[in-house]
Amino acid sequence: METRAGDPGAFARFDLTRVDSPAFVVDAAALRRNLRILADVRDRAGIKLLAALKAFSMWRVAPLLSDYLDGVCTSGLWEAKLAAERYGGEIATYCAGYKPDDLREICALSDHVIFNSPGQIARFADVIAAARAAGDRFDIGLRINPMYATGEVPRYDPCAPHSRLGFPVDQLTAAHLEGVSGLHFHSLCEQDFDPLRRTWDALRPRLEPYFGRLQWLNFGGGHHITRADYQREALIEFLIAVKADTGCEIYLEPGEAVALDAGILVGTVLDVHANGMAVAVTDISATCHMPDVIEAPYRPAMLGERADERDSVRLGGPSCLAGDVIGDYRLPQGCAPGTRFAFLDQAHYSMVKTTTFNGVPLPSIWLWDSESDALECVRTFAYEDFRDRLS
């Protein structure tokens, strides 16, 4: 998988020895830049923007996000609780499969409760009615599968064959929309505007019969809106036209766009040896700290990597997994035990996906403001964090 993220921005002048290792460092100024762009798109298009907590849920900066966006979207009870506790604005919750006990609380916390199938809505009719009788105010949404694949990697494409995510739009009938206020679809992953336009062109004829009864349409996330070369003017024109055409409130749920190029993951070389090429063990683990490197797979950009092809070193993590390999790199300061380095664009998804497999320590979390140079250690993790999640 190719990614066009990896702009070093102010991190080009950040001293990596100012933090411990491994460590995530998030630049508040970069977040503000992204949020200003998103708010400008929102305001000019006349839509609503919700930040996807599944991609970036560093609640230390929740007040900053709440200053710019309309709320957040969540993926289940725990994210909905975090949203209610720490973030402002609307809460839209979608989960592929709800548990009855979770749903009761989700209805109390959320403004929009989005289901994966009409059958699930019908099955939970009593829960929905009881929540409304108790005074909870929320509407019901249905996630649809546009059945129009645009993704580069099938495992990241909700429109891949036999996908479990969303109700196939070719099965949708008017009866399925009884009590439903809006439709949600999410089919993009770090993509430009054109895949969204093509998806809508394929989807619109199927939805047109229902425009008069729908209050909102949610186009999900995966939009790389804050990337420098994203076609923002075309997106704004498109959103204005869709809103006028459908008569619906339009929502977008950017995730990676909120924190794009706003964070790095700092690591240290622990050991180097030769096995057909130079091989280095680091305190950053692909499987524990950057699982998308293995799952996608993709090659994260390195801060300051040399352009020449000499002296490439294969970097891997400290775990016992043979596949815990990040990739081949040309470190800017050479490669010896104790050398510091950093990977770019690691604030979104990497932070939320970390694990302690094999007892590998979690990276600490730091907040830097490149405009003021203020640096704050937000969170460190200890042995007890590993121990206490197991039993």
Residues 336 and 214 grouped into a single domain: no
Q: Residue 28 in contact with residue 367, Cβ under 8 Å?
A: yes
Antiparallel, parallel or unpaired: β 278-282 and 313-316: parallel
**223 pLDDT exceeds 90?**
yes
Q: Is residue 91 domain-shared with residue 211, that is, in the same domain?
A: yes
pLDDT band at 166 (very low <50, low <70, confident <90, very high): very high
**CA–CA dist 57, 60 (Å, integer):** 9
State yes or no: pLDDT of 5 exceeds 80.
Answer: no
**Residue ranges in 69-184 assigned as alpha helix (H):** 77-86, 100-109, 118-123, 125-133
Q: Is residue 233 part of a domain?
A: yes
Q: What is the rounded average pLDDT of the residues 140-164?
A: 90
Dist CA 284 CA 269 (whole Å): 9
Taking only the tens place, the pLDDT of each residue in 304-320 is 999 887 789 999 999 99
The angle that helices 100-109 and 125-133 make with each other, rounded to 10 degrees, is 40
Same domain, yes or no: 196 and 100: yes
pLDDT of the residue at 27: 98
What pLDDT, on the 0 to 100 scale, is given for residue 308? 82
Examine the domain organization and report whether 303 and 233 are in the same domain: no
Looking at the structure, tell me whether residues 211 and 280 fall in a common domain.
no
CATH number at residue 316: 2.40.37.10
DSSP-assigned beta bridge partners for residue 218 = 184, 251
Question: Residue 317: which domain range?
Answer: 9-25+262-388
Q: Which two tokens stand for residue 177?
A: 């929309």
Q: How far is CA 186 from CA 92, 183, 318, in A?
A: 14, 10, 36
d(CA 70, CA 42): 9
Identify the domain boundary among 227, 259, 291.
259
Same domain, 171 and 269: no
- Residue 161's φ and ψ, nearest 5 degrees, are -55, 140
Instruction: Report pLDDT digits (tens) over 174-222.
Output: 999 999 999 999 999 889 999 999 999 999 999 999 999 999 999 999 9
Q: Answer yes or no: is 32 within a domain.
A: no
DSSP states of 218-278 as a string? E--S-B-TTSTTS-HHHHHHHHHHHHHHH--EEEE--SHHHHTT-EEEEEEEEEEEESSSE
288 and 384 housed in the same domain: yes
Confidence at 34, pLDDT banded by 50, 70, 90: very high
- CA 195/CA 13 separation, integer angstroms: 35
Residues 115 and 129 in one domain: yes
Are 234 and 139 contained in the same domain?
yes
What CATH number corresponds to the domain at position 69?
Answer: 3.20.20.10
Give the total number of structural domains in the chain.
2
Distance of CA 100 to the CA centre of its chain: 26
Please, are residues 341 and 332 in contact by the beta-carbon 8 Å criterion? yes
**What average pLDDT score do residues 333-340 get?**
95
Among candidate residues 236, 164, 163, 152, the one with its CA nearest the CA of residue 189: 152
Residues 17 and 90 both lie in one domain: no
Q: Do 132 and 227 belong together in one domain? A: yes
Asked if residue 288 belongs to a domain, the reply is yes
Q: Are residues 300 and 314 in the same domain?
A: yes
What pLDDT score was predicted for residue 13? Answer: 97
What are the pLDDT digits (tens) for 68-101?
999 999 999 999 999 999 999 999 999 999 999 9
